[in-house]
Amino acid sequence: MTVKDYEEIISKRMKFARFKHSKNVAKEAVRLAKKYGADIKKAEIAGILHDATKETDADEQMMLIQKAGLQLSELERSSPKLWHAISGSAYIQVELGINDKEIIDAIRYHTTGRAEMTLLDKVIFIADFTSADRDYDGVDKMRKAADKDLDEAVLEGMAFTISDLAQRKLTIAPDTFAGYNDMAAQKAKHKSK
Residues engaged in binding Fe ion (CB under 5 A): 51, 128
CB of 110 to Fe ion, least distance (A): 6
* Nearest to 25, CA basis, from 5, 49, 58: 49
* 89 in Cβ contact with 105 (< 8 Å): yes
Q: Provide the total of helices (H) and of strands (E) in the chain, helices listed first.
A: 11, 0
CB of 78 to Fe ion, least distance (A): 18
Task: Name the residue nearer to Fe ion (CB basis): 172 or 186.
Answer: 172
Amino acid type, 189: K
Torsional sign, CA 127, 27, 50, 134: positive
How far is Cα 80 from Cα 156, in angstroms, rounded to an integer? 24
* Nearest to 87, CA basis, from 6, 159, 13: 13
CB of 128 to Fe ion, least distance (A): 4
Task: Name the residue nearer to Fe ion (CB basis): 67 or 81.
Answer: 81
CA gyration radius, the chain: 16
Task: Name the residue nearer to Fe ion (CB basis): 38 or 126.
Answer: 126
CB of 165 to Fe ion, least distance (A): 15
CB of 144 to Fe ion, least distance (A): 20
Task: Name the residue nearer to Fe ion (CB basis): 51 or 105.
Answer: 51
Phi, psi (deg, nearest 5) at residue 53: -110, 15
Residue 69 region by backbone torsions, left for phi larger than 0, else alpha for psi between -120 and 50, else beta: left
